[in-house]
Amino acid sequence: MLRVPGSSTDLLSLKAQGADVRIVYSPLDAVKIAQENKDKEVVFFAVGFETTAPANALAVYQAKTLGLRNFSLLVSHVLVPPAMEAILSSKNNRVQGFLAAGHVCAVMGYHEYLPIAAKYKVPVVVTGFEPLDLLQGIAMCVKQLEEGRFEVENQYARSVTREGNREAQDLIAKVFGVIPRKWRGVGEIPQSGLGLRAEFRDYDAELKFNVTTINTHESPECISGLILQGIRKPHECAAFGTKCTPEHPLGATMVSSEGACAAYYRYKRNS
């Protein structure tokens, strides 16, 4: 997250300039920092898909239980199923099948994908992250396409069940509600994010620090929105590998090793 470009700078640059920006390995570590530094405001950047939401929910829950007043969450959680529907219902859609992320499904299960597969007639294969998992997931997806099937299949059965982790889902629902969310390079997708419920508003950094609407200014050369939607490929971006590299990313998809642009760069894909 530290290197994700914002409109004018990134957190790593601010840290280099002396800002107190810290990396923690668990949101509960941020709660502990708040406990130990009552004279400081501690804001935890709660970002990610459904995978990271339970731990972040737990952090807020614990902060409230402890009565902490100097801890808050800047929430930027997003949800997978509404994003899939946004892609599939786009008139430019080219996506014919999905590998559903195993870590998201370990939390949420895969029951939410059943109506999507049926409505849009696309195969969805819940897939793990080892190389063999990915190969098998792709093979299962291609097999469905060749056979004209559009089902939800579970390649990652060693970790994922249909219903998922009910305790984690209950915790998410207790702390967060579903809200519209802006996706970088894509725009707002209805009901595609999580925000803190009213009971936890004292822990909402946006309210606490009067953050008004933020309009991120993307690099005009960056086409990551189109890449995220499967419409363009990274090497089709004029900045790919020249102005934009993992060391100097212009867009979010070049930052993490999971990003499409970073993967294309790393494995020297030009087609």
Interface residues with ligand SF4 (CB under 6 A) are 219, 221-224, 227, 234, 237, 239-240, 244, 249-251, 253-254, 261
Contacts 24+ apart (CB under 8 A), 202-206: 202/64, 202/69, 202/72, 203/60, 203/63, 203/64, 203/71, 203/72, 203/73, 204/72, 204/73, 204/75, 205/43, 205/72, 205/73, 205/74, 205/75, 206/74, 206/75
Residue from 252, 202, 215, 212 nearest 73 by CA:
202
Name residue, tokens 């994908």. 113
Please state the closest distance from residue 269 (CB atom) to ligand SF4, in A: 12
Please state the closest distance from residue 243 (CB atom) to ligand SF4, in A: 7
For ligand SF4, give the closer residue by CB, 94 or 162: 94
Please state the closest distance from residue 255 (CB atom) to ligand SF4, in A: 8
B/e letters for 33-48, b = 16+ CB within 10 Å, e = fewer, are bbeeeeeeebbbbbeb
For ligand SF4, give the closer residue by CB, 137 or 234: 234
For ligand SF4, give the closer residue by CB, 58 or 237: 237
For ligand SF4, give the closer residue by CB, 56 or 253: 253
Residue 210 DSSP one-character state: T
For ligand SF4, give the closer residue by CB, 125 or 254: 254
Please state the closest distance from residue 10 (CB atom) to ligand SF4, in A: 13
Please state the closest distance from residue 88 (CB atom) to ligand SF4, in A: 22
Residue 173 DSSP one-character state: H
* Distance of alpha carbon 266 from alpha carbon 260, whole angstroms: 10
Contact 251, 228 (CB under 8 A): no
For ligand SF4, give the closer residue by CB, 40 or 248: 248
For ligand SF4, give the closer residue by CB, 107 or 237: 237
- Name the residue number minimizing CB distance to ligand SF4: 251
Please state the closest distance from residue 78 (CB atom) to ligand SF4, in A: 18
* Distance of alpha carbon 184 from alpha carbon 186, whole angstroms: 5
Please state the closest distance from residue 38 (CB atom) to ligand SF4, in A: 40
